[in-house]
Amino acid sequence: MDETIVHAYGVVAADEPLTPFPPGIADTTVWVHSADSLAAIVSLLPVEGFGVANWERNATNVGWLEPVARRHHEVLRHVAMTAAVVPLRLPSLYDNLGSLTDALREAGDVLRRDLRRIEGKVEWAVKVYRTAEAQSSAVSTPATSGRDYLLTRSRDLSARSSAQEQLRERVREIHEALGQLSAEYVRNQPQDAVLSGRKEQMLLNGAYLVGRADQARFLELVGEIADDSSTKGLSVEVSGPWPAFNFTGSAEAATTEATT
């Protein structure tokens, strides 16, 4: 058999009952490697194609990276449907199962703490965009004199900045309202238009750690917010459930504000 390397997707409690896994990266078979009270979800990848050299060579090669990232996520998403799983960040490679066991033991306390943190919860994402209509509104009629022009322009500017401030305040309220239904919540940097392919300005890029039993209520609230007249000029989008990528791995519980 060709030389292989261990890819680890995520970590669960060793006694966690799991259903059959979807195929791993490169259609490899996914299984569980236990170490003490923890278990890593793994598959063996050919070094030729997925080793360290490939990662170094392909770090900016989306054609290579995207299928790896998608399959990593799909395996985690599947496990997260029924179990608490700590997702591992890519690249997540180990020379052999012995070195993975060592890594699990070394990080045992952190992993067990994260498992407790996300037990019975999943991550939802809510994004709020400023719609195109809202961005182009508040333009006055053409001025007829220089003085008119200056007055109109000054009024336009202050109307725009006040409208912008109102939108920002509304977005803060939305984030807080969703946070009230969440165990933890975090406001990430807005994604930029190049990567998202979206022309509208992103005003909120929020992640919410929601109890499994609270998901229906959470989604109901998202719907209410999207339908509310006070969110005119805003479009609200929800995605999930995600494995808890935003609520694992940091030393402290997530906070609510990020700089924008």
Partner 1 sequence: MSDATEKWPDTQVALVDLIDRVIGGGVVITGDVVLGIAGVDLVYLGLRLVLAPAHEVDQSIVLGRRSA
Q: Is 132 in the site for partner 1 (CB under 8 A)?
A: no
Among 154, 158, 162, 239, binds partner 1 (CB under 8 A): 239
Q: 66 exposed, middle or buried (CB, 10 Å; 0-12, 13-18, 19+)?
A: exposed
Q: Which two tokens mark 153?
A: 């322009």
61 binds partner 1, rule: CB under 8 A: yes
Of the candidate residues 36, 66, 133, 228, the single one contacting partner 1 (CB under 8 A): 66
Site string for partner 1, 177-216 (x = CB under 8 A): -----------xx-xxxxxxx-------------------
Could you say whether residue 91 binds partner 1 (CB under 8 A)?
yes
- Nearest one of 184, 178, 177 to 247, comparing CA atoms: 184
Q: Is 255 exposed, middle or buried (0-12, 13-18, 19+ CB in 10 A)?
A: exposed
Interaction of residue 16 with partner 1, rule CB under 8 A = no
Kindly tell me which of 158 and 239 has the beta carbon lying closer to partner 1.
Answer: 239
Of 249, 37, 209, residue with least CA distance to 120: 209
Q: Tokens at residue 154, please? A: 């000054």
CA distance 3 to 9: 20
Q: Which is nearer to partner 1, 15 or 27 (CB)?
A: 27
Residue 33 pairs in a beta bridge with 40
The residues of the shown chain that bind partner 1, judged by CB under 8 A, are 5, 8, 10-11, 22-23, 27, 52, 55-56, 59-62, 65-66, 69-74, 77-78, 86-95, 99-100, 102-104, 106-107, 110-111, 114, 125, 188-189, 191-197, 239, 242-243, 245-246, 248-249, 259
